[in-house]
Amino acid sequence: MAANWIPWTLLLSLLPARAANLMKEEERERRRDELVMWLQDFSQWLAHWSVRLAQLTLGISFLFATATILYSLLYYLVIPSRLHEQEIFFDYGNHASLVAEGSGLGHQLTLPTAKLNLLDPVHQWNASPVVKLPAHPQQVLVPGVKYDIYIELTVPESRVNADIGMFMVSTTLKSTDGQYLASSARSAIVHDSHSLVRWIRVGALAVLHALGLTEPAQVLDVLAINGIMESKTHPLTTAEITLNHPAIQIYSAKLTIIAQLSGVRYLMYHWSVSTAVLVILNIVFLEAVALVIIYAFYNLPAAEEEICVGVDQGQLFEQHRSGGIPPIHVERKIKTEPIETSTLIDEAMAAAVAPGNEDDEEMKLRYRSDVSIDDS
């Protein structure tokens, strides 16, 4: 009882120095062994789950890679390629800089205009008769097919464009002989944001802007004309695009003519990112289900047939033949019809008269007479 309240440090101080050091060394060795064992177990556990995580990551990456490849092939087969794509070069005239400075208000303004020859999208300049250009086809589009015409404007996020606000994009289509086919006017605007948001955006992309990899710009995709059908007699060959403000600043512009899409192809083209994510996720799910089914088919053990010992094989055969229901034994009852009185008399006489009796006929007559008397 007295040793219960003695502290361990006091007990060590009372022991000789060698004994105390020996006990400390044993305690250190025990703790070191425990720590080494714990580290070994933890390292094994960590290595095991690291391998599992690597396998899972590799499998998921493989599924997404194959799904992306399949969707790319599907997109290539379903979505038609852009039938016609051509750069647009606007002519600002002589007064664009004057209008930008505010000193050309008294002059006749020249609006930015571009005239495109769709038959020759490579040479965007006028050639003299001396210069010979290669022959070009007489028709660009397929007759009888509907097309959509888009104008893509890449504009800088400048103060000038923000102050201009809304501007109009006018498009006119003409045939080979200069006949008017269609025209449209669509509005566009450079989206302006708060100065604080602009500074945050510029600060986040400062390094990329400094390296020239990106620049603060917006892409305006304008649907100029939709659903125009190509004619065989009057094919589309010329497009004229005009902007209604002479000071609008543009980095680049492009005209795109594609076949009109509907249904899934419309979603895959105009909502490409959302459709791609949904389709790829569905493909990954189907691939995972297929892999699980294949794994279960080749790796799960087959069900062993139950062997019945001590059971009559004939009874088992009857049970299998009847679908597991034991056969029902039906007792058949023989239906007896009433026998006539004369027949009964003859049978009784035959049974009463034993074989070997000399007076058979007499016994028969006597028995018959007795029966007739009883009946009367």
What confidence tens digit (pLDDT) does each residue in 251-267 have? Answer: 999 999 888 877 888 88
Query: Between the ranges 75-79, 223-227, 299-303, where is the mean pLDDT highest?
Result: 223-227
Query: Under a CB-based contact definition with an 8 Å cutoff, are residues 88 and 113 in contact?
Result: no
Q: What's the pLDDT at 307?
A: 47
Grade residue 173 by pLDDT with cuts at 50, 70 and 90: very high
Question: What are the tens digits of pLDDT across the range 181-201?
Answer: 999 999 999 888 777 877 887
User: Rounded to an integer, what distance in angstroms lies between the CA atom of residue 277 and that of residue 299?
Assistant: 33
Extract the tokens encoding 35: 């720590």
Q: Count the neighbouring beta carbons within 10 Å of the beta carbon of residue 293.
A: 10
Query: Under a CB-based contact definition with an 8 Å cutoff, are residues 203 and 286 in contact?
Result: no
Q: What's the pLDDT at 305?
A: 46
Q: Count the neighbouring beta carbons within 10 Å of the beta carbon of residue 258.
A: 17
User: Rounded to an integer, what distance in angstroms lies between the CA atom of residue 32 and that of residue 26?
Assistant: 10
User: Rounded to an integer, what distance in angstroms lies between the CA atom of residue 224 and that of residue 186?
Assistant: 6
On average, the pLDDT of the chain sits at 76
Distances 115 to 112, 126, 172 between C-alpha atoms, Å: 10, 11, 9
pLDDT of 176 over the 80 cut:
yes
Question: What are the tens digits of pLDDT across the range 276-308?
Answer: 999 999 999 999 999 889 888 888 766 554 444
Question: What are the tens digits of pLDDT across the range 122-134?
Answer: 767 777 777 776 7
User: Rounded to an integer, what distance in angstroms lies between the CA atom of residue 85 and that of residue 59?
Assistant: 40
* Residue 170 or residue 159, greater confidence: 170
Q: What's the pLDDT at 278?
A: 93
Helix axes 360-375, 341-352, angle to 10 degrees: 140
Q: Count the neighbouring beta carbons within 10 Å of the beta carbon of residue 68.
A: 15
User: Rounded to an integer, what distance in angstroms lies between the CA atom of residue 279 and that of residue 287?
Assistant: 12
Mind listing the domains of the chain with CATH numbers? 29-79+261-297 (no CATH), 83-93+110-122+142-260 (2.60.120)
Q: What's the pLDDT at 272?
A: 84
User: Rounded to an integer, what distance in angstroms lies between the CA atom of residue 233 and that of residue 240?
Assistant: 20
pTM: 0.51
Extract the tokens encoding 250: 């543009």
